[in-house]
Amino acid sequence: MPATQKQRDVALHHADIIEQRKRVEKDVLDAIIDLMDFPEARNADPQRPSPADALRFREAVAIFQPSDYDALIEERNIAAKCGYALCPRPKRKAPSAARKHFIDTSKGVEIVDRRVLEVWCCDDCARRALFVKVQLSEEPAWLRQGGFAGDIELMVENAGEHPRTLPLRLKGSSSAPPKPADVEEHDAALAWQARDDALADLAVERGEKPGRLSKANRELVQDKIRERVATKAPEPPSLPTHSSHMAIEGHVPRTSRNEDDDEDDDGQDWDKHLPG
Amino acid sequence: MADERENYSPNLIRMWRAFRTTKEMCRDRGYEMLEEDYQISLSAFAAKCGRQDGEVDRSQMNFSCLPSAEMAKKYTAPPTAKNPDPQPDIGKIWVEFNGDENVGLKQLRDYMAHLVDGQYYSGVMVTMKPMTGMALRLLRGAAGIAEGPKGGVEVFVEQDLLVNITKHELVPTHVLLSKEEKDHLLKRYRLKETQLPRIQVTDPVAKYYGLRRGQVVKIIRHSETAGRYASYRWAI
Ligand SMILES: [Zn+2]
C-alpha cells in the first residue's frame, strides 16, 4: 500500500536525521577532546600557527555551532588553558580571587568579571578566537543544507604560509613541486580530486554514506529529472502523415480508426483471458 | 547536638550530610557497609575530613566498597546451558568527591582512567556543581565505550545529597528485582516488559538506587485502606 510505504519512508528519513544528529554530536565531542590539549607544540605561536595545526583546527570546528565553540573554550579553561585553541599558553590569572576587577583598557578603566578576565591569555587571543566564532553557523550541522564544511578563516600573521582555499587532501602527495611540464596535468588532477571531495562532502551533508545513496532519501524524493537531449536539429511542427483530421487533442476517436488497430480493444475480448 | 554544630563551619556540616547520604545510598543498593560507617557523627567526620581552616578536605571523603553476597546474587543472571556459571554484573565501586570548582571533560576522563586502572567495576563522582554539557555528553555515551569502567560512571551534585530522598515519607519502598525474579514476574502475569509502567533512570529515586535500563523495581506503597500493595516499574 502506497500510503504505508510513504509513512515508512518518512519514519526512516526521521530516523536517519536522529542518527545523523547523534553522529554529529559525537564528532563535536571528539573534536573538543582533540582540541582541549591543542596545540601539541608548547612553543606554538597563535599569531603564526603551523599550516598543519591551522588546518586541523579549521576542519574540526567546521561542524561546530557557536555554542559548541563556547563549550570548547569552557573545557580548555577548566584545563587552565587559554580559550583560543591555537594557543598553548595558560589562561590569564586574575590578580586576586575577587569577583570583579578594574582593568585599564583603551576606553579607560572598566569593571570586568573575573570569569571573563580568565578566559584568554591575552586580548589578542580573544580577538582571534572570536574571529572564528562569528563565522560558525547557528544551524546544527545535521540540518545544514549547504556549506557543511564551510571554510573557516583564521586571523594569522603568516597568511602566505597557508593555502588560501581549503587544502586538498591528496593521496600520496609529495612535498616536491611538480615539474613545469606536468603542471597542466597536475592542475587537472587537482580539479578532479576537488570534485570527488566535494561530491563526498555533499553525500555526507545529505546524510548518506559517501558513495551510497540512502534508500529512504532516494524514495522520498520522487521527482525524476529527465534531461532533454537534442538528437537532431529542431524543426517546425508539422502534421503527422497518418493523422486524421478527426483527432481531438491527439486522440483519435474509435470510429475513425483502422480495422486492425481495433482488434486489441475489442469489447468482447475480455472473456478470452478467463480460465475455463 | 546543637552545641556541637556551632563548632563547625556550615560547609563542613553540609559535606557531612552529603557523605552520610552517599554511604546510605551504597548500603541501600546492597554494598557491604558497617553501621558506624554510615552513621558517622559530625565530630568523627570533622576529625577525618576537616582541615585546619575549618573547611573540608574532600579527598579524605573518597571510599570504595564491595557488593554484599546478596547484592552479587541479585545482579547475577540465572545460569543457562550456554553460560552455566554467570558472573555478577556488579563489583567494587569507587566513590569520589571532587573538589574542583568546575568539572569538565578533563576531570571526568581522569576519573574514568582512574577507575579502569584501579579495576573498579563502576564509579560514583560527586561534584560541587553540575558538570559541563560536554562532560555529560561523554557520560551519556560512556556506558558502552572502552574508555570507561564496565559498570559505568554516575554523577551526583553535592546539593542533591544533602537529604536522603528515600527517607521522605511519601517515597515508597523500591526493591530491585533480580533477572530471575523479573522473568518470573513477566511469566506469571503473561506480560512483556514493555507492557509494564516505566521509570526513567534519571528519576531521582532511580538514580539513588543506580537503576539500569531494563531492570524492574517493585514499588511497595502503604495505603490506609488497602494495607500494603506492590506495583512494578520497568527502568528505561
Ligand atoms: Zn592565548
CATH number for the domain including B172?
3.90.940.20
B173 beta partners:
B220
Chain B residue with the nearest C-alpha to that of A71: B134
Q: In this complex, which of B100, B132, B138 lies closest to A74 when CB atoms are compared? A: B132
Domain finish residue from B161, B189, B224? B161
What pTM did the predictor assign? 0.72
Look at chain B and report how many structural domains it folds into: 2
Ligand 1 centre distance from Cα of residue A163 (Å): 23
Please report the ipTM that was assigned to this predicted complex.
0.85
pLDDT at residue A216 in the model: 47
Helix (H, G, I), strand (E, B) or coil at A144: coil
Burial zone of B236 (CB within 10 Å; 0-12 exposed, 13-18 middle, 19+ buried): middle
CB A33 within 8 A of CB B105: yes
* B chain contacts of residue A29, beta-carbon cutoff 8 Å: 134, 137-138, 141
Q: Do A78 and B132 touch (CB under 8 A)?
A: yes
Looking at the structure, tell me whether residues B42 and B148 fall in a common domain: yes
- For B90, B95, B148, B151, B171, the CA distances from B217, given in Å and listed in that order, are 17, 24, 26, 19, 14
Are residues B145 and B195 located together in one domain of the fold?
Answer: no
B62 and B76 both lie in a single domain: yes
Whether residue A170 is predicted with pLDDT greater than 50 in this model: the reply is no
Residue ranges per domain, chain A? 18-87+120-158
Whole-number Å distance between alpha carbons of B149 and B109: 11
Average pLDDT over residues A209-226: 48
**Cα separation values, B187 from A85, A213, B74, B217, Å:** 57, 45, 18, 16
Distances (CA, A) of A59 to A12, A27, A153, A207: 30, 11, 11, 18
Contact B24, B64 (CB under 8 A): no
**Both B92 and B190 in a single domain?**
no
CA distance B97 to chain A (A): 17
Q: Give, to the nearest 10 degrees, the angle between helix B105-117 and helix A66-78.
A: 60
Which of B7 and A29 is assigned the larger pLDDT?
A29
CB A35 within 8 A of CB A72: yes
Strands B153-157 and B122-127: parallel
CATH of domain A18-87+120-158: 1.25.40.820
pLDDT of residue A173: 39
Which of B102, B135, B161 terminates a domain? The answer is B161
- Cβ–Cβ below 8 Å for A75 and B133: no
Interface residues from chain A to B (CB-CB < 8 Å): 25-26, 29, 32-33, 36, 71, 74-75, 77-79
Mean pLDDT, range B103-131, rounded to an integer: 95
Check pLDDT > 50 for residue B225: yes
Mean pLDDT value across residues A12-31: 91
What's the mean pLDDT in A11-19? 89
Distance CA A125, CA A91 (A): 10
Q: To 5 degrees, how large is the angle CA B124–CA B17–CA B28?
A: 55
Confidence at residue A149, expressed as pLDDT on a 0 to 100 scale: 56
| Closest alpha carbon within chain A to B102 | A78
Diameter of chain A measured on Cα atoms = 105
Question: Which of B106, B137, B141 lies at the smallest CB-CB distance from A78?
Answer: B106
C-alpha cell read off for B163: 537529604
Q: If you count residue pairs, one on A and one on B, with CB atoms under 8 Å apart, how many are there?
A: 36
Residues B138 and B200 grouped into a single domain: no
- The answer on B64 and B131 residing in a single domain is yes
A101 Cα to chain B: minimum distance (Å): 20
Last residue of a domain, one of B127, B161, B195: B161
Mean pLDDT, residues A6-32 taken together: 91
Residues B155 and B173 in one domain: no
Buried b (16+ CB within 10 A) or exposed e, B89-109: bbbbbbbbbbeeebbbbbbbb
Q: Give the gap in angstroms from C-alpha B151 to the nearest C-alpha of chain A.
A: 21
Is residue B51 located within the same domain as residue B138? yes
Which residue has better confidence, A161 or A119?
A119
**What is the model's pLDDT at position A263?**
47
Both B120 and B142 in one domain: the answer is yes
pLDDT for A77-99, tens place per residue?
Answer: 999 999 999 999 999 887 777 77
Å from B4 to nearest chain A CA? 32
The verdict on B16 and B90 lying in the same domain is yes
pLDDT of residue A97: 75
pLDDT digits (tens, 9 = 90+) for A254-271: 654 454 544 444 445 444
Q: How far B149 CA lies from chain A's nearest CA (Å)?
A: 19
Tell me the mean pLDDT in the region B182-203.
93
B92 and B177 inside one domain: no
Query: Chain A residues with CB inside 8 Å of B137's CB?
Result: 25, 29
Its domain, for residue B207, covers 165-235
Same domain, B100 and B170: no
Disruptive mutation site among A38, A75, A118 for chain B (greatest number of B CBs within 10 Å): A75
A242: exposed, middle or buried (Cβ count in 10 Å: 0-12, 13-18, 19+): exposed
**C-alpha A166 to ligand 1 mean position (Å):** 25
CB nearest A25 (choices: B100, B132, B137) = B137
